[in-house]
Amino acid sequence: MITLALSKGRIFEETLPLLRAAGIEVLEDPETSRKLILPTSRSDVRVVLVRATDVPTYVQYGGADVGVAGKDVLLEHGGSGLVQPLDLNIARCRMSVAVRDDFDYAAAVQQGSRIRVATKYTQVARQHFADKGVHVDLIKLYGSMELAPLTGLADAIVDLVSTGSTLKANHLVEVETIMPISSRLVVNQTALKTKVALIGPLIQAIEAAVVP
Ligand code: PRT
Ligand code: MG
């Protein structure tokens, strides 16, 4: 049996075609079902639904053998106990620095001011500003980062951007792109060895279906 950890929403939706190409149909719709374990058309494959940020943890400790997680989530998790054989090129976006449209970020950086940055992505943000030699105080948030500059909680945020419409609706502007983000297949290090007969072909079939 292989247990595959997915999160509801964009990762689930965008993983389905890859699974289908590998001959796996998920038999229930997570948006209408209340089940957390979904059967598939293969009796030896099941899907478990977990929060996006919990996918690496499930796979690391063997609660799932395989999972799909965003690079953002994997960088914060650290990746220990995980093998990352494939970039699936799905759920794409970018991680960026954004500020209120009336905040002069370039001037603040040039003056060497300490900038208050709110983010869920403290590891990536710390590294990014250290590399640029920008002095920051990081404030950890778990959601709605866009609100922080509007309320005076922070000068800037580090968040994911895809269309840019969320930033625009909140009078924020992107001032730096930190990195492109997509989702990766992650595999439990031990399961990759002990269940290689099942997991090996699954990785190959998914790899063949990835749209570059
Ligand atoms: O939503 P929930 O709190 O349950 O969990 P989650 O936000 O961790 O999960 P989910 O499903 O929203 O995101 C899963 C993964 O999708 C993330 O880890 C990213 O790798 C990837 N992804 C791709 C995105 C986006 N695009 C994205 N646009 N994740 C989040 N967003 C958010 C962003 O944080 C911002 O609030 O969408 C908003 C910006 O979108 P635009 O289109 O207005 O720019
Ligand atoms: Mg979300």
pLDDT number for residue 168: 98
User: pTM of the entire structure?
Assistant: 0.97
For residue 10, the ligand closest to its alpha carbon is 1
Q: What is the pLDDT averaged over residues 25-45?
A: 96
* Beta-carbon count within 10 A of 61 CB: 10
Confidence of residue 205 (pLDDT cuts 50, 70, 90): very high
3-state secondary structure of 201: helix
pLDDT number for residue 64: 98
Distance (Å, rounded) from C-alpha 9 to C-alpha 171? Answer: 26
Residue whose Cα lies nearest atom 32 of ligand 1: it is 160
Ligand 1 pocket mutation, candidates 49, 57, 77, 93, criterion most atoms within 8 A of CB: 93
> Which ligand 1 atom is nearest residue 181's CA?
20
Under DSSP, the state recorded for 2 is: E
> Which domains occur in the chain, in start order?
2-91+182-209 (3.40.190.10), 93-180 (3.40.190.10)
Specify the DSSP element, H or E, that contains 161: strand 156-161
